[in-house]
Each structure stands twice: as C-alpha cells, then as structure tokens.
Amino acid sequence: MFVSDTEMEPITLSLMQGFEVRRVWGGDAPPSLPTDGTPPLAPAFFPPATGYRFAFVTIPSEASVSLPEDFDVARAIAEVNEKLPGMLEHNEPDNPGMHTTDTVDLDLIITGEVDLELDDGVEVHLRAGDCVVQNGTRHAWHNRTSEPMTMLSILVGAKRA
C-alpha cells in the first residue's frame, strides 16, 4: 500500500543559508517487516550503530552565503540543535564543514557539482550522476560553483573499531 505521496518540506537553518535537508526516512533500530508505514523514530541527524537515514541534502554555493553583521550566533546554534539534533556534535569548530561520523555514507549527486575534501586535504570534484561511498571518513563538502548542489544521502550507522 502507498502510505504517503507528498512533497517533503525542507528543513532550513539561519546559520547555513541555502542549506536544506529533506528527511525522507530513517530509524534507530533495524526494521521489522512488514510495517504499516508509520515513520520509525529517528530523532538525531546521524544514526546510531543500529540505525539508518535517508535524506536529500542541498548545499548552496559558498559564494552565496553571507551572514548579517548583527547575526545572533547563539540563537542560530540553538536552531540547528532543535531542527537537526546531534549535527553540530560531529563538526569541527576550528575547521568549518569538516566532520566525522560513525556511518557508511552512500551519496549520489542529483544536481549541481561539489568538491569532497578528505582528511588528508585531497579533494575530488563530483557532478550530477556521480556517487561516493564513505566509511566513517573525516570529510567536508565544498560547493565552489555558482549553483546549489543536491544529493541523495543514505547513512547507515556503524561501529568504529
């Protein structure tokens, strides 16, 4: 049966203008089948070792992002923690955008282009149709083009040895 056929409203953040997340599905435990289509609990942005997330993520052009002089950083951080709990805990304050998660990331670029930077500073340029699999990799996404980039991102929780 079809449970839903609606367009997902994006989660937007004042701290990251133009950044959007459309959380489609996710759970914190392995699914039991069959289901009635009720979305499982998945409160945190990144899944635990037993969980998974399925989302569309839009990253704006870095050139298009600017914050006003009177920007309330404390309020913006509280907004991120409310709308995408746990997201900031994985980011490096001294290296904006760089983050590490205990997940296997399955990413497919849908539109636009983006540079994926790994922890050794090596970058790869990705275009629509390109995909990448990351296994707990320390990384950052950089959109240095003039257009937003949207990717399908599936995160599978993992245990780091």
Beta-carbon contacts of 26 under 8 Å, excluding residues fewer than 6 positions away, are 40, 42, 47, 51, 52, 53, 54, 55
Indicate if the pLDDT at residue 1 is higher than 80: no
Find the mean pLDDT for residues 96-105: 95
DSSP secondary-structure letter at 53?
Answer: E
On whether the pTM is more than 0.85, the answer is: yes
Share of the chain above pLDDT 70, in %: 100
pLDDT at residue number 65: 79
Q: Can you give the pLDDT at residue 27?
A: 96
Closest CA to 98 of 90, 106, 109, 107: 90
**What does the domain layout of the chain look like in residue ranges?**
11-157
Tell me the one-letter amino acid at 150.
T
**C-alpha distance from residue 99 to each of 118, 119, 139 (Å):** 10, 9, 6
| 11-157 fold | Jelly Rolls (2.60.120)
Q: Provide the token pair at 7.
A: 């367009």
Alpha helices in the chain (DSSP H): 73-83
